[in-house]
Structure 1
Amino acid sequence: MEVEQVASDSENVAVDGPEKPVDGAGDAATPHSERLRRKNKKFLRTNSKEKETVAAAPTPLPKYRSWKNSRRPRNGHGRGLPKKGGAGGKGVWGIPGSELLEELEEDANDPNYDPEAAGGDLELKQLILEADAEEIVRKSESVILEYFEHGDTGAAAEEFLEFVTSSRSHVICETIVEVALDHKPSHCEMASVLISDLYGRVFTAKDIALAFENLLDRLPDLVLDTPEAPTLVANFIARCVADDCLPPRFVQRTDYANDYARQAIHRAETLLSMKQGLVRLDNIWGVGGGIRPVKSLIRQIQLLLKEYLTSGDLAEAARCVRGLETPHFHHELVYETILLAIETINSSVEEQLCTFLAELRRSLAVSPEQMDRGFLRVLEDMSDIVLDVPLAYIMLDRFVDKCTRRFRLGDHVLKRMPTRGRKRFVSEGDGGAIKDHALKLRE
């Protein structure tokens, strides 16, 4: 009976399948077909219409662990900016120029790190910053020169904002003043207006102060190219204080290393402390070009000619003509010169004024059109001039003859020259010849 029961139990074991291996036997005791079935077993998705499976609820984490690895802002809304300004994180390029900074930075834990050679990195960084400043100066110069042509401060500000950074704004102000030092007073006036309009938009009062501090420190070098640099820089400083771009305490500093800087600061303080100084500083560069009234220009031309006849300095007279900055009004200069030659009735004065016109014509300070127009204006007014100067026609004929020997006049001017008519001192038998003793010239 016991034998039959043992046999039936062995048959049941054989029918149920192979015996599971004991712990520790591993996959070596598992048949090959069973391992394949386990490997190829797949979990099929169930349709929404089929039997739905209920997933077990996850175990809630503690409150402090739910925010441990969260990238969301703690305040709930954040600033709306990329993480680290776009300079950090996975798969980003970093800030512009970061590859240079990474090459310059050294790890103190690096076995090859040399503390003594670490100062060389600072020098290389300084060279990179200087190269950046030179690039800003190069771009700024072209914008400033273009501004001197059109005078639009808004367009200049937009061009500056395209390449300037907040840390380099003082370089633009420094470049504006430095470029204006080599130009005319009217350009200095435009530079002062540009600094005033860019204040608060491109640079701040601190940037302007830093720019003038650098200029004052560099005055010994600027004087080599522009001898009047201390005076011009002082005018710029005083004008900026008057325009509320610089604080008045800026001119109270006297601890500069060079004498030129102390001289400029002293002049700026004097300009600001004089009576009604802030009002006068509006015209510190003068009123230039066609902005001046016509009567003022005529008065300056007359003073220029009288000073030239007194001193005889032809180069200074030509410089004063260029300083008028009125090329469209040079015909008035020619008109006043011819009129002065007619009224003086002096051959030496005629020769001096003829030399003056010849130099202006040779150096192209006065264009041929303006020269011819001045002569034509005299011919048109001869009927009035002869009332004051009876010998006007004779003096004009002699002066024009001297001028034609020095430079060329237009054919239309020579054709309109009046023919020498009969005068009371010309007799019938002289054939129209003029007697020299009748001129009664004051030699």
Structure 2
Amino acid sequence: MATDCEAWLNANPVGAEDLSDSFLSGDEDNGGISNKNINNEINGNWLLTSSNSIHEARLKAKAKRRLRKNSSRDSGRGDSLSDNGDSVRGTITAPTSPKSKLLDRKSRLGKGRGLPKKGGAGGKGVWGRSGEVYGPDKVDEKDPNYDEAQENCVYETVVPPLDERDFEKTVTPIVQEYFEHGDTNEVAELLAELNLGPMQSEVPSLAVSLALEAKASHRELTSRLLADLCGPVLTHNDMESSFDKVLRELPDLVLDTPGAPQLVGQFIARAVSDQILSKSYIDGYKGRVDCEYTRAALDRAAVLLKMSMGGLRIDNQWGTGGGQRPVMQLIKEMNLLLKEYILSGDSKEAERCLRDLEVPHFHHEFVYEAIVMVLESKGEKTFKMVLQLLKSLSESSIITIDQIRRGYERIYMDIAEINIDVPRAYFILEQFVDKSFSAGVINVKLRDLCPCRGRKRFISEGDGGVVKLESY
């Protein structure tokens, strides 16, 4: 490089003022560049005659390269430099971060009014402009996938029909749950949701077979269910075909339920009474029955129907129980049970009848009615028999201790009203409570709660013959 400079100097001699070692003038310090140095810059390289000028040119070129490199990175920030490397105070702008650029919804092309894109109504994952109402989509007939036959299509949920394998698994829980709540409307809704298909006529036979192994109250509920399902869900033909199946399966049903023929006969009689089976249903089997169980069931149904003509109510032929019946009906049946026991003296039969009522939560009413019967009786027979019955029921735990306690407490509360009709009620109650304690029916605490009638008594002569009332 030094050889090139010497060759150029020989071709272009310069004056002494150009070779001076003085620094730049004040104008150059302020950012200005003298005209004499303009010709010495070629393609950004300084060509000077002195070594000091060459060194200074190198520094300025290095500073200029550094400023060019930083200018692209710090564009718009703070100060800028002129072409000769001097700093020029520029307009200070706020720095912008890449995150803020991502969240900026303004156009980056410098177009538009700077509003959000599409007014906030477009883009991926948005619902559209607020207040916008979407109309039905119109079918484009020019669409290559357009099919004219699909315009009037109606789409529905198709439920496959139940087969014999799934029928019992699906319907059995519905019937068993009905035995708990007793709502026939819910069963009808659940069956309507199923596509029973050819298995529709199997519903009554399944319900009857489940009721044979259940309680008397469940059989009564089954009869009500069949009466309510006939019409909305099942037809009369379904009922007849279902009972035909039950009669054919009686030899198998007797293995699990020995009294199945009599119970099925009662179901048939109840169905005829509820008009879900025709009156000629039983007559259709005359002369065509070979099975002894089927004959026994049909004979039982025929006998019950004949008795109904004489005034027997078939709706009571189950001896049904449970808390779903009216309270007054339960009280009436308990009174009849007690009267029958007083006449027969069979405590085992009384226990069975009380158990068949299936109201263990209402046994306190039985204790109450039994004690009231003792208070209203005039002889010792009722006193001893009721005490013996309560002792037997307490020992067998048919009536719990809690139910006995509640029955006695109810008598204690109502003894004042009973005494109006029975003047000797307090005296008889005291004797009965003492005997009950001696027999182990009640405890000491319950015996001590027995109320005593207020009595009149005369005090000694010193009281002047004043009559005083004292209850003890």
| TM-score w.r.t. length of structure 1 | 0.56
Q: CA deviation at 1:225?
A: 4.3
Q: CA deviation at 1:268?
A: 2.9
Q: How does 1:231-246 map to 2 (within 5 A)?
A: 231-246=262-277
Tell me if structure 1 keeps the 8 A contact 2:161–2:195.
no
Instruction: From 331, 342, 345, give the equivalent of 1:312.
Output: 345
Q: CA deviation at 1:177?
A: 0.8
- Which position in structure 2 is the counterpart of 1:173? 204
- Which position in structure 1 is the counterpart of 2:294? 261
1:278 and 1:405 map into 2 onto residues whose CA distance is 47
Tell me if structure 2 keeps the 8 A contact 1:170–1:207.
yes
Instruction: From 366, 370, 383, give the equivalent of 1:333.
Output: 366
2:153 and 2:304 map into 1 onto residues whose CA distance is 51
1:224 and 1:401 map into 2 onto residues whose CA distance is 50
- Which position in structure 2 is the counterpart of 1:150? 181
The 1:360–1:141 alpha-carbon spacing in structure 2 relative to 1, beyond 3 Å, is farther
1:306 and 1:325 map into 2 onto residues whose CA distance is 19
Q: CA deviation at 1:320?
A: 1.2
Instruction: From 222, 241, 245, give the equivalent of 1:191.
Output: 222
- 1:267-310 per-residue CA deviation (whole Å, 9 max, x = no partner) reads 43455567769995555546755666655544432331232234
| TM-score w.r.t. length of structure 2 | 0.53
1:219 and 1:261 map into 2 onto residues whose CA distance is 7
The 1:165–1:345 alpha-carbon spacing in structure 2 relative to 1, beyond 3 Å, is same
Q: CA deviation at 1:400?
A: 1.8
- Which position in structure 2 is the counterpart of 1:403? 436
Q: CA deviation at 1:423?
A: 8.7
Ranges in structure 1 where 5+ consecutive residues have no aligned partner: 1-75, 87-94, 98-128, 429-443
Instruction: From 235, 260, 283, give the equivalent of 1:229.
Output: 260
1:336 and 1:354 map into 2 onto residues whose CA distance is 13
Q: How does 1:14-413 map to 2 (within 5 A)?
A: 132-133=164-165, 136-160=167-191, 165-252=196-283, 253-254=285-286, 255-272=288-305, 280-281=313-314, 284-285=317-318, 289=322, 296-344=329-377, 349-386=382-419, 391-407=424-440, 409=442, 413=446
Tell me if structure 1 keeps the 8 A contact 2:308–2:314.
no
Q: CA deviation at 1:380?
A: 2.9
The 1:197–1:393 alpha-carbon spacing in structure 2 relative to 1, beyond 3 Å, is closer
Question: Which amino acid is the alignment partner of residue 248 of structure 2?
Answer: D
Q: CA deviation at 1:419?
A: 4.9
Q: CA deviation at 1:189?
A: 2.5
Tell me if structure 1 keeps the 8 A contact 2:201–2:234.
yes
The structure whose RCO (Cα within 8 Å, separation 6+) is larger is: 1
1:355 and 1:281 map into 2 onto residues whose CA distance is 34
The 1:349–1:240 alpha-carbon spacing in structure 2 relative to 1, beyond 3 Å, is closer
| 1:399 counterpart SS class | helix
2:334 and 2:224 map into 1 onto residues whose CA distance is 28
RMSD between aligned residues: 4.3
1:199 and 1:400 map into 2 onto residues whose CA distance is 54
Tell me if structure 2 keeps the 8 A contact 1:322–1:365.
yes
Question: Which amino acid is the alignment partner of residue 208 of structure 2?
Answer: V
Q: CA deviation at 1:314?
A: 2.4
1:96 and 1:388 map into 2 onto residues whose CA distance is 68
Question: Which amino acid is the alignment partner of residue 212 of structure 1?
Answer: F
Tell me if structure 2 keeps the 8 A contact 1:174–1:215.
yes
Which has more helix, going by share of residues? Answer: 1
Tell me if structure 2 keeps the 8 A contact 1:170–1:208.
yes
Ranges in structure 2 where 5+ consecutive residues have no aligned partner: 1-148, 461-472
Question: Which amino acid is the alignment partner of residue 189 of structure 1?
Answer: E
| 1:250 counterpart SS class | coil
- 1:410-438 per-residue CA deviation (whole Å, 9 max, x = no partner) reads 776434213587699x999xxxxxxxxxx
Question: Which amino acid is the alignment partner of residue 414 of structure 1?
Answer: R
The 1:249–1:290 alpha-carbon spacing in structure 2 relative to 1, beyond 3 Å, is same
Tell me if structure 2 keeps the 8 A contact 1:173–1:211.
yes
Tell me if structure 1 keeps the 8 A contact 2:437–2:444.
no
1:186 and 1:96 map into 2 onto residues whose CA distance is 32
Tell me if structure 2 keeps the 8 A contact 1:241–1:248.
yes
The 1:330–1:228 alpha-carbon spacing in structure 2 relative to 1, beyond 3 Å, is same
1:407 and 1:164 map into 2 onto residues whose CA distance is 60
| 2:348 counterpart SS class | helix
Question: Which amino acid is the alignment partner of residue 404 of structure 1?
Answer: F
Q: CA deviation at 1:81?
A: 10
